[in-house]
Amino acid sequence: MSEIVLETRGLSRRFGAFMATNDVSLKVERGARHALIGPNGAGKTTLINLLTGVLPPSEGQVYLEGEDITGLASFRRVKRGLTRTFQINQLFPEFTPLETVCLAITERQGVGHSLWSTMAGYGRVIEEAASLLERFGLASVMGERTSILPYGKQRLLEIALAFASRPRVLLLDEPAAGVPEDERHEVLSIVSDLPKDVTVLLIEHDMDLVFSFASRISVLVAGAVFAEGTVAEISADPRVKAVYLGENA
């Protein structure tokens, strides 16, 4: 039986009279590679902001593993395993990937610098960082300055940072946006290959990438769920095609 790990019920968000999120009820299964797609301005980022607690909803609830987390602060959601990356790059350009990932690991451990004061603690952090960098295809560049890395590698580093918090649900807002065509597939295939107990909800604009990545797709239009289904169902849905053709016309 599938298990719902993340759910919204009747979630809405108004900005003045404008409904950016309109009565969204969404269920994300544990282990899913769930894509959230829709035209620009459809409310995808707003929905992620509601899920992570960056924005409070005007109405409705968010449930994580069956518990109502609607009123929880963002950092408490992260502690419970709900972590996101942002659409805007948030890295320290002068740090190396190794330094950046070590920082994220010590931050998660919550003991900060004290851990660095023992050799054993230092070794454990480095070891975890190395395996994280390996997983995200960053081992060969871990000593370079982040600012000189190819953009795809920078986005992978951001995802590695989110992953360092040991999420059970990872929310990715257009991780391949701005990444050159030839690096995009690497980004999404690394995300797709994350451990199966990690659930991924991903916003992506490129339909080919979405179709190769997703196990399930929700289509947002004007803040509301317009269609939902498997890749086969969504890719064959003439209404979805019309929305995208209309946008690209």
Q: Is there binding between residue 46 and Mg ion (CB under 5 A)?
A: no
- For ligand ADP, which residue of 5, 6, 11, 20 counts as binding (CB under 6 A)? 20
Q: Is there binding between residue 21 and Mg ion (CB under 5 A)?
A: no
The residues in 26-45 that bind ligand ADP, with binding defined as CB under 6 A, are 38, 40-45
Instruction: Give the interface size with ligand ADP as a residue count (CB under 6 A).
Output: 10
Contact by Cβ (8 Å): 114, 63: no
Q: Angle at the Cα of 130 (from 197 to 198), degrees rounded to 5?
A: 10
Residue 95 CB neighbours (<10 A): 16
For the beta sheet containing 18-29, the strands, ordered from the edge strand earlier in sequence to the opposite edge, are: 18-29, 4-15, 59-64, 67-68
Residue 190 to residue 192: CA distance in whole angstroms: 5
Instruction: Tell me whether residue 44 or residue 184 sits nearer to Mg ion (CB atom).
Output: 44
Q: Is there binding between residue 15 and ligand ADP (CB under 6 A)?
A: yes
Residue 117 to residue 10: CA distance in whole angstroms: 49
Q: How far is the CB of 102 from ligand ADP (least distance, A)?
A: 32
- For Mg ion, which residue of 8, 22, 45, 218 counts as binding (CB under 5 A)? 45
H or E element, residue 32: none
The residues in 42-101 that bind ligand ADP, with binding defined as CB under 6 A, are 42-46
Which of 23, 60, 63, 15 is CA-nearest to residue 41? 15
Q: Is there binding between residue 219 and ligand ADP (CB under 6 A)?
A: no
> Which residues, other chains included, contact 66 with Cβ-Cβ below 8 Å and sequence gap of 6+?
4
Q: How far is the CB of 223 from Mg ion (least distance, A)?
A: 12
**Greatest Cα-to-Cα distance within the chain, rounded to the nearest angstrom:** 61
Q: Is there binding between residue 52 and Mg ion (CB under 5 A)?
A: no
Candidate ranges 39-47, 69-77, 191-199, 212-220; the one touching Mg ion (CB under 5 A): 39-47
Q: Is there binding between residue 157 and ligand ADP (CB under 6 A)?
A: no
Instruction: Tell me whether residue 50 or residue 169 sits nearer to ligand ADP (CB atom).
Output: 50
Q: Under the rule (CB under 5 A), what is the footprint of Mg ion?
A: 44-45
